[in-house]
Structure 1
Amino acid sequence: MIELSLETFLLTGAIFLLAAFFHGSIGFGFPMVATPLLALSTNLQTAIILTLLPTTFVNLTSIANEGQFLRAFRKHLPLALCAMTGSAIGTQILIVSNSELFKVLLAVAILGYLMIDKFQVRLEWVERRPNLSMLIFGFTAGVLGGLTNVMAPILIIYSLEAKFEKAEIVQLANICFLFGKAIQLALFTLNGKFALNELMLSSTMLLLVFIALFAGFKIKRRIQQQTYKQVLRTFLFLLSLSLLYQVVG
């Protein structure tokens, strides 16, 4: 159980502000930023638990902000169900083991995201075998999300190879995250891991998350995306190195 103190509230608030702003600016990524930052001062399981409610709120808001929610929901429901199944398995493994080595997996997932963003990845079979690719990528993204709270690398590869438009990628990612968070919340609750302190701390952060998220939405339309993305890439790279150092250093 996490200790509730002024330092904890300030640190968690700063992390959630940054993560929500990041998410609003590019359309996804709240857990990808918040989880490793929280994991620097606590274990990965606690970090994921703290992000459950804010991530769910952020996902719902982002889906609504992009519009055409019902159409996107119907189209990506099979993928989201695959992700939910994988997330259930990954979350249960995390609950049973709660290994610090999963921080290494989280760092690798972030580095994978950065590599995908930098290089052109070509998997032509994704278009030729849409049902199989949806099953494989959805389930794999879910397992990774359950273990580390990061689905983005797998979902981005799938989205790019399936030739989805930018708005559709945002919808797809947020719907999959939403389903993954739902099953995580259920499993952590059933296993007695979602304690009152974590619930209180994450709930009090929702207003800060709301403010930062909408600030990110506005910034998204005004700044040069290439410059902004480069800053974020550098930040995530340094963050992944910090996680690796924490485990092996």
Structure 2
Amino acid sequence: MFDRHKSTPAFTRFTYFTFTYFTHFVRSAMTAFTLIILTFIIASIFHGLTGIGVTLIATTALASSYPMSHVLVLTVIPCLLINLVVFLDGGRIVYYLKKYWLLVLTSFVGSFIGTKLVFIIASHHLLIALGLLIVGYVAMQFVAMSVGKNFKLPNTTPSLVISGTIAGVLGGATNAMSPLLVMYLLSATEYTDDPKTELIKASNLCYVVGKIAQLIVL
């Protein structure tokens, strides 16, 4: 016959371990959720101040804890919304679409290809690529401040196509679209009425289509 008294210790141990595991799971989930929220708050504040950077900052912070494929999933919707808000602010949507349509198109195609690579290339290789991109960009900014001159790419059609495509591939695979894109846009917006605003709006438009490409693939 079933002995209720003998089964009690086993049931107690089972209950204890289940509760302990569940508590640990909840704490881990809350910690991860808090990390993600704080990351996006800080990245969004920086993006609001400068007009760029939310995707790169969020990716850099989260990539140390999650595989790149997971990072892309976590960042795609929030970054899409933030980039879209920045682009739509102030209007002139048709103007930017007409002027930068080719850059937008190449960014979209590149991002589509880059996102596909996430499922082909090992995650640690993508992290290395992301790290090299960030270190290279910071080093270039340091040199630029030292000499008092920004690094720019030529404002030509071949440069546009190459820059947009490569930036898209990098953005799709590692979320690091901005460095190369900004280097081209520094030349493309140099002689406009408001170079800073134009650079911010054009880059955010490219980020938006890049995120749309990621959504399609993911």
What TM-score comes out, normalization by structure 1 length? 0.69
- In structure 2, how many angstroms separate the alpha carbons of the residues matched to 1:113 and 1:70? 31
Q: Is the 8 A contact 2:112 2:213 kept in 1?
A: yes
Partner of 2:9 in structure 1? none
- Give the match for residue 212 of structure 2: 182
The question of whether the paired residues in 2 share the 8 Å contact of 1:151 and 1:177 is answered with: yes
Highest CA radius of gyration, 1 or 2?
2
Picking from 46, 58, 61, the partner of 1:22 is 46
Superposed CA deviations along residues 136-178 of structure 1, whole A, max 9, x for unmatched, are 1100100110111011110111012334311111011101111
**Residues 52 and 97 (structure 1 numbering): CA distance in 2 closer, same or farther, change over 3 Å?**
same
Give the conservation status (yes or no) of the 8 Å contact 2:83–2:205: yes
Change (3 A) 1:157 1:123: closer
What are the superposed Cα offsets for residues 61-109 of structure 1, whole Å, 9 maximum, x if unpaired? 0012243222112211210110111111111111223421211111122
CA distance in 2 between counterparts of 1:27 and 1:66 reads 13
Q: Partner residue of 1:240?
A: none
Structure 1 residue 113 displacement after superposition: 2.5
Q: Which amino acid aligns with 2:116?
A: Q
Across the two proteins, how many residue pairs are aligned to each other?
Answer: 183
* Equivalent of 1:151 in 177, 180, 203: 177
Which residue identity lines up with residue 80 of structure 2 in the other structure?
T
Structure 1 stretches of 4+ moved >4 Å: 121-124
Aligned in 2, Cα 1:69/1:117: closer, same or farther, shift over 3 Å? farther
Identical positions, percent: 32
2:166 partner letter = T
CA RMSD of aligned residues (A): 1.8
The answer to whether structure 1 residue 56 and structure 2 residue 86 are counterparts is no
Counterpart of 1:56 in structure 2: which amino acid? L
Asked whether the equivalents of residues 80 and 175 of structure 1 are also in contact (C-alpha less than 8 Å), the reply is yes
Q: 2:62 aligns with which of 26, 35, 38?
A: 38
How far off its partner does 1:179 sit?
Answer: 0.6
Q: 1:116 to 1:69 in 2, by over 3 A?
A: farther
Q: Which of 70, 84, 87 is 2:108 aligned to?
A: 84
SS at match of 1:97: coil
User: In structure 2, how many angstroms separate the alpha carbons of the residues matched to 1:27 and 1:123?
Assistant: 19
Give the TM-score of the pair, scaled to structure 2. Answer: 0.78
Which range moved further: 143-152 or 64-73? 64-73
Shift, 1:115, TM fit:
3.0
Going from structure 1 to structure 2, the CA distance change for 1:116 and 1:76 (only over 3 Å counts) comes to: farther
CA contact (8 A) 2:68 2:127 kept: yes
Letter matched to residue 28 of structure 1: I
Partner of 2:37: 13
Which residue identity lines up with residue 66 of structure 2 in the other structure? T
Question: Whole-Å Cα distance in 1 between the matches of residues 139 and 94 of structure 2?
Answer: 32
Secondary structure at 2:119 match in 1? helix
Structure 2: runs of 5 or more not aligned:
1-24
- Structure-1 residue corresponding to 2:187: 161
Whole-Å separation in 2 of the counterparts to 1:162 and 1:71: 14
Note if contact 2:108-2:168 (Cα within 8 Å) is conserved in structure 1.
yes
Q: Partners of 2:140 and 2:162 in 1: how far apart? A: 18
Query: Where does structure 1 lack aligned partners over 5 or more consecutive residues?
Result: 189-249
Q: Distance between the aligned counterparts of 1:99 and 1:122, measured in 2? A: 30
Residue 96 of structure 1 aligns to a residue in which SS? coil
